[in-house]
Structures are given as C-alpha cells and as structure tokens.
Amino acid sequence: FIDHQKMDDDCVRDDDAHPHLTYTSPFVFLLILGNRCEKIGGKMDQPLVSIVSPSTVVSEGVYQFLRGSIYGALWGMVTPFYPPGSPGAAKEAATGVFRAAPPFSSMSSIPSNAVLFGTILGVQRLSCKTLEMLRGKDDIWNDVFGFGVTYKYYQTFLAKTETRLLRHNRIVGATVFMTVVYANVFV
C-alpha cells in the first residue's frame, strides 16, 4: 500500500520542471524500490544509510566470486595466453617472445582464469561491502576503497611471480573444493 499523501508531504515536487514525472508516479516508486539502500526517516534530502549486515557482506563476496569465475572460465576458453606452468608458458618465459595460444587449445587455462577473475571480483566486493557495513554509508568511497584493496591483492598475490600465482590458484581451488565437500557431506 502506497500512502501518496505522505509521499507528497515528505518529498519536494517539481511539477513545473518535469510535469510528466512526479514522486508519486509508479516509475519513480520503482526506482526508489530498486535502489540498493533505503532512505531512513522518510525525507528525500537525508543521506543514504546502509542496511548491510555481515551475512549480506559474505553473500555479496561469494556471489561476485562465482560471477567472476564464470567470466574467467569464458575468457579461459578463448584467451591468447598460456596457463601458468604449461609448456607454452615456459617456452614464452625462456625466449621472451609472445606467441598467442589458439582459441580452445588448452582446457587447463579455464580453471586458472576462473580463479583469477573470481578472486578479483570477490575481493573487491567483499572489501567495499565490509567498509560499507562498518561506516554505515553507501557511497562511492566504499568502491574506491575496494578497488585499492583489490589492486594491492593483485600486486601481492597475482602479479609477483608465476610460482606465487600457481600457489594462489591451488589454495583458492582447494578452498572451493573443501566448501563443496562440506556443503554436501556435513550440511
């Protein structure tokens, strides 16, 4: 049930500037409902306040990890780069000459790219949602912080050496495997 009179009292109407669009129109109401955050107090001029809980932070991080894994798997099918530790990558490192791998040539590049993309998206979302929960605000600075954390994560674990990248992928893969085993055996 929508109380149109209360919405008219709480919101500033600007019918002269936009006669086709008022705050009580269904279009604007759907936009307000579609927003990630909720206005607290009912006034339109108050800042956005976050309603994120710890379970939301974790679920957002897991969702983005899975989404990134799908993107990475698709990229792994057509990537011109050889997977880390493969003979093509070793030859490339020894000679210093880049030679593109043919599309669909190595199915072993799919898990490597899935883990790479999944962790990048998961770390970004987990860090920005954690800051949003701690600050209690949903604004652009949460995303800026998330990008900074992701960049440092990438520089530390993914871009240093091939050995570190392989170790990272094995740890993340083992964690995903153990999570699936736990969910199917113990829960």
- Predicted structure pTM score: 0.64
* pLDDT at position 35: 39
Q: Is the distance from CB of 169 to CB of 112 less than 8 angstroms?
A: yes
Q: What is the pLDDT of residue 76?
A: 85
CB of 75 closer than 8 Å to CB of 109: no
The Cα-based distances of 99 to 81, 96, 105, 113, 131 in angstroms read 8, 10, 13, 18, 42
Residues of the chain with pLDDT under 70: 1-50
pLDDT attached to residue 54: 86
Residue 95 to residue 28: CA distance in whole angstroms? 60
Question: Other C-beta atoms within 10 Å of 149: how many?
Answer: 17
Instruction: Please write the tens of the pLDDT for every residue from 73-91.
Output: 998 888 888 877 788 888 8
Q: How far is residue 13's CA from residue 25's CA, in Å, rounded to a whole number? A: 11
Q: Are 76 and 118 in contact (CB under 8 A)?
A: no
Paired tokens of 99:
């030679």
What per-residue confidence (pLDDT) applies to 48? Answer: 59
pLDDT for the residue 45: 52
Scanning 35-161, the segments in alpha helix (DSSP H) are 54-78, 87-95, 109-135, 140-153
3-state secondary structure (DSSP) of residue 98: coil
pLDDT at position 84 is 72
As to burial, measured by CB atoms within 10 angstroms (0-12 exposed, 13-18 middle, 19+ buried), residue 28 is middle
